[in-house]
Amino acid sequence: MDPARWNGMVVVSRGANRICVRDPGSPAHCLKYVLQPVDAPRSHPGHWLRARLAGTGNANLTELRAWHYVCPRTDGSEPWRLAASEAIVETPAGPALRCELVRDEAGDPAPSLHQLLASGIPDADGRMALADAVVRFEAWLQRQAIPLFDLNSGNLVRIHRGGRPELVCVDLKSVLARKELLPLSRWSRRLMHAKIARRAARLRSQVLGTQHATRGGTAIARHRTGH
């Protein structure tokens, strides 16, 4: 099957407000474009309100700022955990955010967790192995104290390192794009760690197919998917 294309470029993924395509000038990069209203899927009214609360009208600028915020705050261990954002560039299709393209062993774009869950997890991974990858990703986040709260299956892609699956974040916007009126989890290290743990537990449950997460000792059903 021929890959989907947008403005003549191969589509890597598509979200509510942006589309990611392969950079035709560099196999190691991808380009993220902010979709115009006519091109963007109809989004929930809450998306607009959250953008206003965060003070961010351009997702590409927010992600680039988030990258420059996070980079100097990490200890340099496992730098491959985050896909690098390089710059806003002008292209024939308009301005785009040029990012590192996370690729699999064959050189193709690494699949997102959302894609794996939707199409069937390969035997080489297995649900438990992917769930363990979530645990390792969370442990890295906690060590780095990165307030990455949007741990959904569409923002994480799967690669293989050392013979096992590992996760890489390809969207850092949520580090700066807060959704609360009072972002207490960003002001308190204890609350930040607790929130990351809750989001990671929810994602791990989604990977395992249990559709449950634990909060305060009570199992709560979940029916959320990535985008």
pLDDT, tens digit, 9 for 90 and up, residues 155-192 = 999 999 999 999 999 999 989 876 665 566 666 788 99
Q: Residue 66: what pLDDT?
A: 96
Mean pLDDT of 12-23: 95
Give the span between the Cα atoms of 49 and 15, in whole angstroms. 17
Name the pLDDT band for 210 (thresholds 50, 70, 90): confident
Q: Which of 135, 130, 172 is nearest to 150 (CA)?
A: 172
**Local structure of 120: helix, strand or coil:** coil
Give the span between the Cα atoms of 214 and 104, in whole angstroms. 33
Please state, rounded to an integer, the average pLDDT across all residues of the chain: 84
Name the pLDDT band for 20 (thresholds 50, 70, 90): very high
Domain regions of the chain by residue span: 5-221
Q: Residue 225: what pLDDT?
A: 36
Say whether pLDDT at 134 is over 70: yes
Q: Residue 223: what pLDDT?
A: 35
Q: Residue 120: what pLDDT?
A: 81
In the block, which residue shows the tokens 């062993």?
A: 105
CATH 1.10.510 fits 5-221, yes or no: yes
Give the span between the Cα atoms of 47 and 37, in whole angstroms. 13
116-121 contacts, C-beta under 8 A, 24 or more apart: 116/158, 117/153, 117/206, 117/207, 117/225, 117/226, 118/225
Q: Which of 155, 168, 171 is nearest to 227 (CA)?
A: 155
DSSP 82: B
Counting residues of the chain whose pLDDT is more than 70, the rounded percentage is: 78
Q: Residue 140: what pLDDT?
A: 98
Say whether pLDDT at 213 is over 60: no
Say whether pLDDT at 220 is over 80: no
pLDDT tens string 46-105: 554 444 444 446 999 999 999 999 999 999 999 999 999 999 999 999 999 999 999 999
Say whether pLDDT at 42 is over 80: no
Q: Residue 16: what pLDDT?
A: 87
Give the span between the Cα atoms of 115 and 121, in whole angstroms. 9
